[in-house]
Amino acid sequence: MSSSGFLRWGKVFAAGGSIVLAGVLLFKYTTPTDEQLIQALSPELRLQYERERNLRQAEQQELMKIVQQTMKSNDPIWKSGSVENPWEKDNGSRATKDQFQRMKADQVQKEELERIRQELGKIRTESLNETDKIVSKKSWWSLW
């Protein structure tokens, strides 16, 4: 091969490498972190994200238990795994999904009840303060 061929291939590799390097650098410096994404969410979505964090962690723990059980077995993964195929018409996976949905609904209900309890406590203290103000005032009917 002549020296012009080597020079041409050198230019091709240099151009390709610079394109790849530019892509990697752009990806690295323009992709937001998870914390930045969460901070960019609206307050309602951020609250929902925080509420559902425990549910996602429970799902992840359940998946890890299944993976560990599958790992202990000597059978192929398609025989030993307890994760059902989503395309099969089996109700086993549906029960697990329903269980997680119930757990999520329970968690949301508990958080809502706690919020209501806090609001009622605040209203109760405000009411007691107002009652104390009214009782402490000397009114015209207390003179009788």
Backbone phi, then psi, for 42, in 5-degree steps? Answer: -70, 160
Closest CA to 100 of 60, 144, 140, 142: 60
pLDDT tens, residue by residue, 34-71: 889 989 989 999 988 888 888 888 888 888 888 888 88
String of DSSP letters for 41-68: S-HHHHHHHHHHHHHHHHHHHHHHHHHH
Query: Which tokens is 138 given?
Result: 């000397």
Examine the pLDDT at 95 and tell me if it is beyond 80. no
CA distances from 45 to 52, 83, 100, 140 (A): 10, 30, 20, 54
Q: How long is the chain?
A: 144
pLDDT at 81: 62
